[in-house]
Chains A and B, each alone.
Chain A
Amino acid sequence: MTEFSVDAIRKGGKLALSRVLSRVEADDESGRAALDALFAYTGKAHKIGVTGPPGSGKSSLVNALAHHLRRSYPESRVAIIAVDPTSPFTGGAILGDRVRMPDLQNDPGVFIRSMATRGALGGLADATLSLSQVFDAAGYDYVLIETVGAGQAEVDIVTLAHTTIVVDMPGMGDDIQAIKAGILEIADILVVNKAELPGADQTYRNLVLMIEMGYRGTGRINGGHHRLTIATEARSIEPEGWLPPVLKTTALTSQGIAELEQAIHQHRAYLQASGTWNAKENSAIRQTIDKLILKELSENWKKTLPAGLYETVMQSVSQRKLSPRAAARALLAYNSE
């Protein structure tokens, strides 16, 4: 395996970057070393999550947004991490998000990396955060992270992204769907994509209503203004609050994409002004540290178990002689003696 070089990656070497992404994704020794070395250079990129149900147009929206960012800010570079599901049966995956990103394929300032979930639930792969850190260290200004088609509970993106965009489309359900817990709650920006389709206004109204219900009584909704301007007005009423704007887009014709870009930058300004930018970053890092501690502890501890003990206990559990909790206690107790 080629030695990775922080220098090559920082200077924009795509081959070096691409190979390190693979090592980091595989979570092997060289990948871990690379991530450790690169971490010092992270903390600058704006990480933007794009999530929503399958077929709502996430990839097309990412395509249009990245294209728009590159045209509006030619100096900036955009990385895209597109996550698709791994088959639970074969371990294989078809990663097809590139098909929807034709405008970016000849742009040297855009780097698209497809990623399979490799068994992770929650809408991302285990290594998605790490990959976003590599892009951050490599000097990419925006990291757009497209989750797998999400239902109601795949909300991991919210801990990873500074700004979470939830994409909905007409005909996905009535106003009861809109007030359920889960995916709509995590939005910093709500987008009704395919806004040219019939029913788009209805979907838009449902989402605005949902936002309004969530914030009523906080003194931040002022009269009947349900447009992008609610966010701006709400800020002037209560500076520390952010009211998710609801936007209409048609990704395929780039309708509404400029407004989406504005909302993203407004959100960034809000995060930075309120100190939430660092708080978000730090809570993601805290989670990573906790996860790594748990992982090391359990790996090290498992090594101290006598061979075959785990399987013996497992047999008792499958014969229903022990409950899983009792089994876990028994295993832990064995080791502490």
Chain B
Amino acid sequence: MPEKKIRVLIAKPGLDGHDRGAKVIARALRDDGMEVIYTGLRQTPQMIAEAALQEDVDVVGLSILSGAHNALVPYVLEKLKENGQDNVFVFLGGIIPESDIPGLLAKGVTKVYGPGTDTRVVCQDIRAALADRA
């Protein structure tokens, strides 16, 4: 009867302390009817994957502004896979140089967003990705 709720983990890996973007996205997804689990700052990839596992999320949204995305994101993907959660979609937002994006997508990131992204687009992309999987 009730439609399946989309569950999203919003996480900030690594050492950057700027979480405005993560909070804006969390709020936008909430307003789109999703259940958003927010983990707070300074998470290790293990902590993020463990939280994704315990919360049985459909999507992990990573926010990185520190420049460490090439190190952190593949690590998160690997940990998710180790836990048996290779069906989870990983979205990435932050300051990501254009030239790094193809590599991240090839490793398994579903979409990468930069500053100024319309949050409605993110909501649509998440719903589209999940609809494709179903």
| A interface residues, Cβ below 8 angstroms from B | 14-15, 18-19, 21-22, 26, 86-87, 90-96, 98-99, 102, 105-106, 111-114, 116, 118
Given B2, B51, B54, which contacts A26 in the complex, CB threshold below 8 Å?
B2
Q: Are B38 and A95 in contact (CB under 8 A)?
A: yes
Q: Which residues of B contact A93 (CB under 8 A)?
A: 30, 35-36
Q: Are A94 and B30 in contact (CB under 8 A)?
A: yes
Is there a chain A Cβ closer than 8 Å to B32's Cβ?
A: yes
Distance of A109 from chain B, by nearest CB (Å): 12
Given A21, A102, A116, which contacts B35 in the complex, CB threshold below 8 Å?
A116
Q: Which range contains the number of B residues in contact with the other chain?
A: 20 to 34
Q: Are B84 and A15 in contact (CB under 8 A)?
A: yes
Interface centre among B32, B43, B56 (most CB of A within 10 A): B56
Is there a chain A Cβ closer than 8 Å to B100's Cβ?
A: no
Is there a chain A Cβ closer than 8 Å to B50's Cβ?
A: yes
Q: Are A15 and B35 in contact (CB under 8 A)?
A: no
Please give 7 more A-B residue pairs, beta carbons under 8 A apart, in addition to A18-B56, A105-B43: A14-B83, A90-B32, A92-B29, A95-B36, A99-B40, A114-B37, A118-B5
Q: Are B36 and A98 in contact (CB under 8 A)?
A: no
Is there a chain A Cβ closer than 8 Å to B17's Cβ?
A: no
Is there a chain A Cβ closer than 8 Å to B90's Cβ?
A: no
Q: Which residues of B contact A90 (CB under 8 A)?
A: 30-33
Q: Are B54 and A95 in contact (CB under 8 A)?
A: no
Q: Which residues of A contact B29 (CB under 8 A)?
A: 92
Distance of A97 from chain B, by nearest CB (Å): 9
Work out how many contacts link A and B, with CB atoms closer than 8 A. 78
Q: Which residues of A contact B32 (CB under 8 A)?
A: 90, 92
In the bound assembly, the distance between CA atoms of A177 and B55 in angstroms comes to 37
Interface centre among A21, A22, A86, A87 (most CB of B within 10 A): A22
Q: Are A95 and B56 in contact (CB under 8 A)?
A: no
Interface centre among B31, B36, B46, B51 (most CB of A within 10 A): B36
Complex A-B: 18 CB contacts under 8 Å: A14-B54, A14-B83, A15-B53, A18-B54, A18-B55, A18-B56, A26-B2, A87-B30, A90-B31, A92-B33, A93-B36, A94-B26, A94-B30, A96-B37, A99-B38, A105-B43, A114-B35, A118-B2
**What does the 1/0 interface line of B31-63 toward A look like (CB < 8 Å)?**
111111111100100110011011110000000
Is there a chain A Cβ closer than 8 Å to B27's Cβ?
A: yes
Q: Are A19 and B56 in contact (CB under 8 A)?
A: yes
Distance of B37 from chain A, by nearest CB (Å): 5
Is there a chain A Cβ closer than 8 Å to B20's Cβ?
A: no
Given A98, A106, A118, which contacts B37 in the complex, CB threshold below 8 Å?
A98
Is there a chain A Cβ closer than 8 Å to B85's Cβ?
A: yes
Q: Which residues of A contact B53 (CB under 8 A)?
A: 14-15, 18
Distance of A140 from chain B, by nearest CB (Å): 12
Q: Are B38 and A94 in contact (CB under 8 A)?
A: yes
Smallest Cβ-Cβ distance to B48: which chain A residue: A105
Given B34, B40, B46, which contacts A92 in the complex, CB threshold below 8 Å?
B34
Is there a chain A Cβ closer than 8 Å to B4's Cβ?
A: yes
Interface residues of B in 5-30 (CB under 8 A from A): 5, 7, 26-27, 29-30
Q: Are A112 and B36 in contact (CB under 8 A)?
A: no
Q: Are B85 and A15 in contact (CB under 8 A)?
A: yes
Q: 4 closest A-B pairs (Cβ-Cβ)?
A: A92-B30, A99-B40, A18-B56, A91-B33
Distance of B56 from chain A, by nearest CB (Å): 4
In the bound assembly, the distance between CA atoms of A116 and B34 in angstroms comes to 10
Distance of B2 from chain A, by nearest CB (Å): 7
Smallest Cβ-Cβ distance to A105: which chain B residue: B47
Q: Are A113 and B38 in contact (CB under 8 A)?
A: no
Q: Which residues of A contact B31 (CB under 8 A)?
A: 87, 90, 92
Q: Which residues of A contact B38 (CB under 8 A)?
A: 94-96, 98-99
Given B5, B46, B54, which contacts A106 in the complex, CB threshold below 8 Å?
B46
Q: Which residues of A contact B40 (CB under 8 A)?
A: 98-99, 102
